[in-house]
Amino acid sequence: MKALSQKRRHPLAAIALLLMGLLLTGGLYAVATTVNEAKASTAEFTATDTQEGEKLFEANCATCHGMGASGTQDGPSLVGVGAAAVDFQVGTGRMPMQMNGPQAYKKPAQFNDTQTHQLAAYVASLGPGPAIPAEELLDEKGNAAEGGELFRVNCAMCHNAAAAGGALTRGKFAPALADVSGKHIYEAMVTGPQNMPVFNDSNISPEGKRDIITFLKQIEANGSPGGADLGALGPVSEGLFVWIAGLGVIIAFTIWLTSRTS
């Protein structure tokens, strides 16, 4: 009896942890919605990917996120966050986190594409969650104008109308979106990394997200028609510029103008 229960404790405990994780974070997610189901994701991942991913996870992530990604005090459970969350967090270098702080910074990725893929496979295997977006959603051939409207309503208040980023409370911030790949923008929308809200497919449809990415990539490629954009930060950088550069040059001229010629 005792031996039997000891044998069985291990898998049962894992299941119990899994269920708890589901309840804690992904529970309502999975119950209340039919959106964001992992459509093609599982097909992309092989069993090897998952196994390799588990090894990588245990070596690099389990300290904070716990064995079986069930979460600890230092890191949330990753059950049900989906492959998209892993691809975003690891792909942009935010995870593994360098140190605890108000928020994880973007930095050079620590894992290569294969490793990221394997990690994503492992986390996706733990519970259904948003998948890595399909290529056709990232082709940047949507409707930029409609994307712009969606961007202004849903994103501009944090990320700035020109996607130059902005401040949040207590040291957190919404990053600038230039140089962020369409895939990562898409994944951020569906997973809501850190304090960013989730924009699931029933809030902004996949086509809408494609439009937003199209808009962002188009304004990035266009650049500013009026010349240097001064950080696209609006009146503050313009004011600073006129005081320092504008008045500076004018003062230089006035000094020349009123000086005596030798």
Partner 1 sequence: MGNHSDGSPNHSGTVATAGQHEVEKFQDPGLPPHRLRLADTDPKAAKRAERQVAALFATSVVGTVIFLVAYFAIDLGDDSSIATIRLQNALLGIGTAFAMLGIGTGIVHWAKALMPDHEVSEERHAIRTEDDRQAAVRIVDDIVEETGIKRRPLIRNTLLGAVALAPLPALAVFGDLGPRPDDKLAHTMWAPTDGKLKRLTRDPDGTPIKASDVTIGSAFHVIPEGLNELHEGKLNEKAKAVVLLMRLDPASLNPSAGRETWGYNGIVAYSKICTHVGCPVALYEQQTHHLLCPCHQSTFDLTQECKVIFGPASRPLPQLPIAVDDEGYLVATSDFKEPVGPSYWERDEHERSINS
Partner 2 sequence: MSAASTAEAPAYVANTKVGRFTDFVDERVGGSGILREFGRKVFPDHWSFMFGEVALYSFVILLMSGTFLTFFFDPSMAETHYAGSYTPLKNVEMSVAYSSSLDISFDVRGGLFMRQVHHWAALLFVASVAVHMLRVFFTGAFRKPREMNWVVGGVLLILAMAAGFTGYSLPDDLLSGNGLRIIDGVIKSIPVIGTYISFFLFGGEFPGTVIISRLYTLHILLVPALILLMIVVHLFMVVVHKHTQYPGPGRNDRNVVGYPLGPVYAAKAGGFFFIVFGVIALMAGFFTINPIWNYGPYDPSPVSAGTQPDWYIGWVDGALRLMPGVISGFHFEYIIFGHVLTLNVLLPALVPAGLVFTVLFTYPWIERWITKDNREHHVLDRPRNAPTRTAIGMAGFTFYCVMWAAASSDLIATHFHVALNDVTYWLRALFFIGPVIAFVVTKRVALALQRKDREIALHGRETGRIVRLPHGEFIEVHAPLDEYKRYKLVGFESLAPLPAQPNEHGVVTRKENRRAKLSRWFFEDRVAPATPAELEAGHGHHEAVEAGEGQKTLSH
Footprint of partner 1 on this chain (CB under 8 A)? 28-29, 32-36, 149-150, 153-154, 157-158, 166, 168-169, 172, 174, 192, 194-200, 202-203, 222-227, 256-257, 259-262
Both tokens assigned to 28: 């309502």
215 makes contact, choosing from partner 2, partner 1, none, with CB < 5 to 8 Å by partner type, with: partner 2
CA 102 to chain centre: 15
Neighbours of 147 (CB within 10 A): 25
Q: Is 138 in the site for partner 2 (CB under 8 A)?
A: no
Q: Is 233 in the site for partner 2 (CB under 8 A)?
A: yes
| CB burial string 193-225: b at 16+ within 10 A, e below | beebeebbbeebebebbbbbbbbbbebeeeeee
Q: Which is nearer to partner 2, 9 or 106 (CB)?
A: 106
65 annotated as belonging to a binding site for a ligand = yes
Both tokens assigned to 177: 């979106």
Q: Which is nearer to partner 1, 121 or 174 (CB)?
A: 174
Q: Pick from 123, 174, 190, 204: which binds partner 2 (CB under 8 A)?
A: 174
Instruction: State the minimum distance, in angstroms, from the CB of residue 259 to partner 2.
Output: 8
Question: Which residue type occupies 67?
Answer: M
Q: Tokens 């409370």 correspond to what residue?
A: 169
Q: Which is nearer to partner 1, 54 or 201 (CB)?
A: 201
Q: Which residues pair with 64 in a beta bridge?
A: none
Q: How many residues bind partner 2 (CB under 8 A)?
A: 59
106 makes contact, choosing from partner 2, partner 1, none, with CB < 5 to 8 Å by partner type, with: none
- Taking CA atoms, 40 is separated from 9, 103, 136, 143, in Å, by 33, 31, 13, 25
Q: Is 106 in the site for partner 2 (CB under 8 A)?
A: no
Return the closest-CA partner of residue 53 out of 103, 104, 123. 123
Point out which residues bind partner 2 (CB under 8 A): 102, 144-145, 147-149, 152-153, 156-162, 164-171, 173-174, 215, 218-219, 222, 224-230, 232-236, 238-243, 245-247, 249-251, 253-255, 257-259
